[in-house]
Structure 1
Amino acid sequence: MSAPDTAGALDGVIVLDLGQIYAGPYCTHLLRAMGATVIKIEPFGGEPIRWRSAGDVAGAAFLMLNAGKQGLRLDLKKPEGRELLLELARTADVLVENFADGVMERLDLGWDTLHTVAPRLVLASGRAFGDHPAAAGLRGMDVTVQAIAGVVTTTGPADGPPSKAGPAVVDFATGTHLAAAVLAALYQRERTGRGQHVEVAMQDAILPALTSNIAGYLEADGDFPERTGNRHGGLAVCPYNIYPALDGWIAILCLRPRHWTALCDLMDRPDLARDPALASPAGRVRDMDRIDDDVTRWTEQATTAWLFGRLQEADIPAAPVRSLGEVITDPILRDRGMLTEVGDGDRAATVLGSPVRMSASRPRPAAPAPLLGEDSADVLRERLGLTDADLDRLRRDEVI
């Protein structure tokens, strides 16, 4: 295989990033890693997560998601700030935003306006519930969409209260889908020469993750526990659980018949392997309490390292439950560039890499996130040809 090109797959693509919090910025993070030039446009106070930490230092979440972007401060509520954005849109390929429903229209920067000014522009919008009359005006954040979309009701033990998922699964599912939509729109533009408006609703993006849960509910004709704890969401696989060990916890699942028989061998329980009532997935699910007890009696006598080694040798899906500290220092994640340190002094930060790997192009190297408005002058000078006098006036008028 030939060595990958130093140019990214999206080299030359210009992205205007009005994204905030996680969904929009993660979309543009992925595009930047593929080679796009991303210009992050923020209001005078900065986007919401920039100052999440105490003091005047940008928070770690902002630094992780906005590394390597150019920073432009722009007041879009002022007529001249709006006109500058429209001028930039004429020179750009993509504009990404995930404001609340109706914000872009109130700024007179909706799709009709942008498409008239810049017919080749792709506008990518993240919304809580999408364009639907029943959802008009409804707002949503990760946890509220988790709640309304069924994620919360399926999370937690069967006899306990509903719980949110630990990670911000909705935001990042939305950002990933939005990046895919942008790529598809850019590809279609190669044939049509025209941009389009693509939208991803947070509720739509997370729904496929509930496939096991919904399938179990449908197969049981509604007579089904919505919360299954650490067991399989559709209660269709057993063993499938988080089991105690001497020094922690370990996840084990037996998806195929050979996984089950191999686990029985490891546990020195040939009686379980021979039991006809446990020969099928459905049979094991019917007796899952007893099976979980048997597996627990085996796992709680050994360390997670010993269990993980033996289970891997037997080709049984398993992994130890690790702390965040262990994950952050994981050598595989570090070697693959998913977490890396950039910058010096006050600009030092841990930043995210991209999960996307392409054989013909390298991911763009990580760089520090921009200070608020750090590149305003360079962006406007390079993209729009503004002079120093123009820039001085815009600063005095608090447009940039």
Structure 2
Amino acid sequence: MLGPLGGIVVLDLSRALAGPHAAQMLGDLGALVIKVEHPDGGDESRGWGPPFVGPDHDISTYFLAANRNKQSITVDMKTPEGKELIERLVRQSDVLVENFRSGVLDRLGFPVERLHELNPRLVVLSITGFGHDGPEGGRPGYDQIAQGEAGLMSLTGPSPDEPYRVGASVADLLAGIHGAYGVAAALYEREHTGRGRVVRTSLLAAVTGVHSYHGTAWTVGGTVPHASGNHHASITPYGAFRCADGMLQIAAANDGQWRKVAALLGIDPDRPEYATNRERRAHRDRLVAEMESALAAHDRGHWLARLGEAGVPAGAIRTLDEVYSWPQTRSQGLVVEVEHPVLGRIELPGPPLRFDDPGGPSGREEGMQEKPVHTAPPALGQDTESVLAWLEERER
């Protein structure tokens, strides 16, 4: 693997989604990630589906989403032999990722104090549902529960009376993202202090951390935000609109863009109820109805072309098959090919970061590849022997 974290070793004790996503991000950045799984079934997400693929229809596409660029070993951490192996791996690792419930790792014999006794330079990423302390710190948490408890569902849906979960598991994924950047910061700090530290986040923290202007609407403005369907809570016109053959999205974030939209649709932009964003927001239902009446005259292709010519941000609402076949998606490295031990050559969603080559072709080290080589999510325990051999070599 190439990348900024080349040479970093990550011991991934996590399962399901938040922790594995964090470890996968570190693997995308070049770290060697060793995924520890229980011999009896491994990561529980191996059984989550449909869809399942493969000759025996037993490979979970859910698992494939969060475990690229990892090696899998099987360890029973409750046995003396398993504990000894984990101790050896901890000594050789830079980062440990776990998302057990609070106290579980302690009961397994690996409290933070013990981990840092084994390896003072170890950075520990710990992800929980609702935090590591506080009156409800011990609660178990899954994504949808956290979306509700952290207020996200109250902001999502067609109306305040119909809260919806976000379609993607954003609490898990955001917790993984926050955890990965916390690890990067702790590794940087370690270069100056020589010691690792514990990085903590939770599903609750991850969702609350992206409230943004919804949060300040309450904490500063004293207003409780509610779901507003497919239209922005603070900017108008900004949302999804019906035209002759379906829906498209228009985002007029300032008065200049609004005037361009109004000119295309034959609406007077200086009418008192539409002249400013504050007025447009107050009369949003009327404005949306007037815009959709004009948009009904043509199909999406017509309007997207006209809006693009005018410089107004607009777009289609794509299904995932359309997203992954879109040349723009592929041009950004958001689809990667890997060789899976059972499935053969497959495509996976790619990492969202790209790094330039500041030295250009002449500045590249001899033998360095131009692009990182990604590896497929592993079969259960497929790398146990090779990791043990690597560990013995490190220890020598």
With normalisation by structure 1, the TM-score equals 0.89
Pick the aligned partner of 1:354 from 351, 355, 371: 351
Query: Does residue 27 of structure 1 match 2:22?
Result: yes
In the alignment, what sits opposite 1:202? 203
Of 43, 46, 50 in structure 2, the residue corresponding to residue 50 of structure 1 is 46
Is 1:305–1:320's contact at 8 Å kept on the other side of the alignment?
A: no
Inter-CA distance 282–218: structure 2 relative to 1 (3 Å threshold)? farther
Residue 238 and residue 218 in structure 1: after superposition, are their counterparts in 2 closer, same or farther (change >3 A)? farther
1:14 aligns with 2:9: yes
Q: Give runs of aligned pairs for residues 285-364 of structure 1, distance below 5 A.
A: 285-343=281-339, 346-348=342-344, 349-360=346-357, 364=372
Change in CA separation of 1:262 and 1:93 when aligned onto 2, cut-off 3 Å = same
Residue of structure 1 equivalent to 2:246 = 248
Cα shift at 1:254: 1.4
The structure-2 alpha-carbon separation of the partners of 1:137 and 1:218, relative to structure 1 and needing over 3 Å to count, comes to: closer
Paired residue for 1:162? Answer: 163
Structure 1 residues 303-312 or 290-299, which shifts more? 303-312
What's the secondary structure of 1:153's corresponding residue? Answer: helix
Match of 2:60 in 1: 59
Asked if 1:282 corresponds to 2:274, the answer is no
Using the TM superposition, give the Cα deviation of residue 56 of structure 1 relative to its aligned residue in structure 2, in angstroms: 6.3
SS at match of 1:210: coil
The alpha carbon displacement at 1:344 in A equals 5.8
Q: Deviations over 1:253-304 (max 9, x none)?
A: 21111011010111122x2x12133221111111111110111112233222
For each residue in 1:52-88, what CA deviation from the matched residue of structure 2 results, as whole angstroms up to 9, or x when unmatched?
2456622112113212211111111111101111111
How many corresponding residue pairs?
A: 377
Structure 2 regions of 5+ residues with no counterpart? 359-369
8 Å contact 1:353–1:366 — kept in the other structure? Answer: no
Structure 2 distance, partners of 1:190, 1:363, is 27
Distance 1:29 1:170 in 2: 16
Alignment RMSD: 2.1
**Greater relative contact order (Cα 8 A, min sep 6): structure 1 or 2?**
1
What amino acid does structure 2 have at the position aligned with 1:267?
Answer: L
Distance 1:220 1:292, change over 3 A: farther
Q: How far off its partner does 1:211 sit?
A: 2.0
Give the structure-2-normalised TM-score: 0.90
Alignment partners' CA distance in 1, 2:270 and 2:76: 72
Q: 1:136 to 1:116 in 2, by over 3 A?
A: same
Give, in whole Å, the separation in 2 of the partners of 1:246 and 1:346: 46
Tell me the equivalent position of 1:231.
Answer: 231
* Paired position in structure 1 for 2:365: none
Distance 1:178 1:363, change over 3 A: farther
Q: In 2 relative to 1, CA 344–31 (structure 1 residues): closer, same or farther, beyond 3 Å?
A: closer
User: Is the 2:340–2:376 contact (alpha carbons within 8 Å) kept by the matching residues of 1?
Assistant: no
Distance 1:240 1:215, change over 3 A: farther
Q: 2:132–2:138: 8 Å Cα contact kept in structure 1?
A: no
* Partner deviation per Cα, 1:211-256 (whole Å, 9 max, x = no partner): 232334456633x551211121xx3211122111222211112111
Corresponding residue for residue 363 of structure 2: none
Task: Judge conservation of contact 1:19–1:97 (CA < 8 Å) in 2.
Answer: yes
Task: Give, in whole Å, the separation in 2 of the partners of 1:194 and 1:213.
Answer: 38
Map of 1:257 onto structure 2: 255
Report how far residue 32 of structure 1 moved: 1.0
1:31/1:231 CA distance change after superposition, 3 Å: same
Change (3 A) 1:336 1:88: same
* Alignment correspondent of 1:392: none
Q: Which residue identity lines up with residue 376 of structure 2 in the other structure?
A: P
CA distance in 2, matches of 1:81, 1:87: 10
Equivalent-residue separation in structure 2 for 1:31 and 1:173 (angstroms): 14
CA distance in 2 between partners of 1:386 and 1:287 (Å): 67
Report the CA distance between 1:310 and its aligned residue: 1.6
The answer for the alignment partner of 1:142 in structure 2 is: 143
- Please list, as runs of the form range in 1=range in 2, the aligned pairs for 1:84-163 lying within 5 A after superposition: 84-158=85-159, 160-163=161-164
Aligned mates of 2:347, 2:393 — CA distance in 1: 34
- 2:352 maps to amino acid: P
Superposed displacement of residue 40, structure 1:
0.9
More divergent stretch after superposition (162-171 vs 377-386)? 377-386
Conserved 8 A contact 1:380-1:386: no
The separation in 1 between residues aligned to 2:92 and 2:392, in whole angstroms, is 8
Return the alpha-carbon distance in structure 2 between the equivalents of residues 353 and 219 of structure 1. 39
Counterpart contact for 2:175–2:201, Cα < 8 Å: yes
CA distance in 2, matches of 1:95, 1:242: 43
Q: Report sequence identity in percent.
A: 33
In structure 2, C-alpha distance between the alignment counterparts of 1:52 and 1:158, rounded to whole Å: 31
1:377 aligns with 2:385: yes
SS in structure 2 of the partner of residue 15 of structure 1: strand
